[in-house]
Amino acid sequence: MILVTGGAGFIGANFVLDWLAGSNEPVVNLDKLTYAGNLNNLSSLQGDARHIFVQGDIGDSALLAQLLAQYQPRAVVNFAAESHVDRSIHGPEDFIQTNMVGTFRLLEAVRHYWQALPTDSKAAFRFLHVSTDEVYGTLSKDAPPFTEEHTYEPNSPYSASKAASDHLVRAWHHTYGLPVLTTNCSNNYGPYHFPEKLIPLMIVNALAGKNLPVYGDGMQVRDWLYVKDHCSAIRRVLEAGQLGQTYNVGGWNEKPNIEIVNTVCALLDELRPRADGQSYASQITYVQDRPGHDRRYAIDARKIERELGWKPAETFDTGIRKTVAWYLDNADWVANVQTGAYRDWVSKQYTSQ
Ligand code: NAD
C-alpha cells in the first residue's frame, strides 16, 4: 500500500493511473479537491478496490494520523500543492498554507508513524516529495542548466513556497532521520492538464476560436517533460533513490513559449483544420507579461540518468502529438473542467496589451 497526496490533480492522477496499470499494490489517494483536483481524471478506476480515495487536507493532522494508522503505507508520495504561478501572484495565502504548513503537518504525521514502525518496515519506508525546478530561480541565456547543486533562488510566491517545502523535507531527514527523497522536475505536459496552464489553454482556446494569449515577447524558455515520463522517474526514485538525495528530472527539451504555441497550432492545423482554412496561429495575441516572470529554466537530468538509469520514453515531438490528440479525443473531460469558476479565473488572468 502507498499513500499518494494530491492524486486527483494533473500529475498525481497520471501517477495513480500508471501505478495501478503496472502493479496491484493499492493506493490511498488523499486529495482536498481544490479547483485543480478532479475525480474525472480517475473515472477509469471507478469500482477498482485498489484505489481508495479520501477527500481531505494534508494540513489535517488528525486525518493524516488516522489514515497512516489504518492503511500502514510503505511509502508516501506528496504531490499535493497549490501549483499555479499566476494564482500565487493574485493570492499567495493558499500557497503558504498548503505548500508550507501542509507539508510541515504531513512530515510530522509521517514522522510519528514512521518512528513507531517495526524495524523492517521502518527501514523500507520512503517519503517522496515532488517538487519543481522553479525553486532554482531564473537562468541567463547561456548559463548551464540547473544541477542539484544549484542554489535555491525562488522568485514567485509559488516557487518560494515550494522551496520552503523542499527545505522542510531536507530538515526532517537531517534532524529526525526520516527517509526522504525529493524530485525537482521541469514543466510537465500531457493528459488531464488543467486548462489554465500554457499547453492545454492553447489547445482549448484554439478550438473555441478564442485568442491564444502569449505573455510578453513569448521568448521565456522552459524545459518540457511528458507527464508519463515524470511518473516513471518518480517510480524509479522511489525504488532506487538514495535517501536524503534530490533528483532533477527533465526532458532536455528547452523551448521558448512561442515555439510551443506554434507547435500546438501546427498540430491542430493538421489534426483538426479550421473550417476557414486559416492557421490557428492567427489567433495568437501577445498579452502583458507576468510580474517577475522568470526568463529561463533548464534542467540537467544527468544524475537520475547516470545513477538510476532513468530516461524519458517520449521526445517532445511524440509527447506533444499525443497530448494534442488526447485533448481532441476527450472533449467531454475538457467541457467538464470548464466551469463558471474556471472561466472567471481565465478572464482575470490574461489582459490584452
Ligand atoms: P495540480 O494543481 O494539477 O494538482 C494539485 C492537487 O493537489 C489537486 O488535486 C488538489 O486538489 C490537491 N491539493 C491542493 N491542496 C491540497 C491540500 N491542502 N491537501 C490535499 N490535496 C491538495 O498540480 P500538478 O501540476 O499535478 O503538480 C503536482 C505536484 O508536482 C506539485 O507539488 C507541483 O509543485 C509539482 N510539479 C508540477 C509541475 C508541472 O509542470 N505541473 C512540474 C514540477 C513539479
Q: Whose CA is nearest to atom 28 of ligand 1?
A: 79
Contact 250, 299 (CB under 8 A): yes
Instruction: State the average pLDDT over residues 232-244.
Output: 98
Instruction: State the average pLDDT over residues 23-27.
Output: 97
What is the rounded distance in angstroms from the CA atom of residue 234 to the CA atom of residue 23? 15
290 pLDDT above the threshold of 90: no
* pLDDT tens, position by position, 191-221: 999 998 999 999 999 999 999 999 999 999 9
Could you tell me the sign of the dihedral formed by the alpha carbons of 209, 211, 214, 218, in that order? positive
- According to DSSP, the β-strands at 187-189 and 212-215 are unpaired
Q: Say whether 215 is catalytic.
A: no
112 pLDDT above the threshold of 60: yes
- What are 184's strand-pairing partners? 131, 248
351 pLDDT above the threshold of 60: no
Question: What pLDDT sits at residue 34?
Answer: 94
Instruction: State the average pLDDT over residues 328-346.
Output: 79
Class of the domain covering 2-193+224-253+292-315 = alpha beta
* pLDDT tens, position by position, 115-163: 999 999 999 999 999 999 999 999 998 999 999 999 999 999 999 999 9
Give the whole-number percent of the chain exceeding pLDDT 70.
96
pLDDT band at 340 (very low <50, low <70, confident <90, very high): low
Instruction: State the average pLDDT over residues 75-103.
Output: 96
pLDDT band at 353 (very low <50, low <70, confident <90, very high): very low
Q: What is the mean pLDDT of the chain?
A: 95
Place of cell 467531454: 332
Q: Whose CA is nearest to atom 5 of ligand 1?
A: 9
Q: Say whether 133 is catalytic.
A: yes
109 pLDDT above the threshold of 60: yes
DSSP state for residue 330 in the 8-state scheme: -
Q: Say whether 297 is catalytic.
A: no
For 218: left if phi > 0, alpha if psi spans -120 to 50, otherwise beta; the answer is left
For a pocket test of ligand 1, which of 64, 83, 161 has the largest count of ligand atoms closer than 8 A to its C-beta? 83
* Residues in contact with 150: Cβ distance below 8 Å, sequence separation at least 6, in sequence order: 136
Question: What pLDDT sits at residue 291?
Answer: 85
Instruction: State the average pLDDT over residues 341-348.
Output: 60
How is the chain split into domains, by residue range? 2-193+224-253+292-315
Question: What pLDDT sits at residue 160?
Answer: 98
What is the rounded distance in angstroms from the CA atom of residue 239 to the CA atom of residue 148? 19
352 pLDDT above the threshold of 50: no
342 pLDDT above the threshold of 70: no
Report ipTM (2 d.p.). 0.99
Say how many C-beta atoms besides its own lie within 10 A of residue 329's C-beta.
10
* pLDDT tens, position by position, 164-199: 999 999 999 999 999 999 999 999 999 999 998 999
pLDDT band at 344 (very low <50, low <70, confident <90, very high): low
Q: Please name the amino acid found at residue 100.
A: M
**In the chain, which ranges are continuous DSSP H helix?**
10-22, 61-71, 85-90, 93-95, 103-115, 119-124, 157-176, 198-207, 227-240, 257-271, 302-308, 316-329, 331-337, 340-349
Q: Which atom of ligand 1 is nearest to the CA of 134?
A: 43
pLDDT band at 337 (very low <50, low <70, confident <90, very high): confident
Q: Whose CA is nearest to atom 15 of ligand 1?
A: 81
Give the range among 40-49, 159-168, 320-329, 330-339 with minimum mean pLDDT.
330-339
Q: For residue 22, what is its C-alpha cell?
A: 503496472
Instruction: State the average pLDDT over residues 333-347.
Output: 72
Instruction: State the average pLDDT over residues 242-271.
Output: 97
- Residue closest to 177 by CA, chosen among 131, 122, 128: 122
Contact 140, 92 (CB under 8 A): no
Q: 57, 82, 133, 294: which is the annotated catalytic residue? A: 133
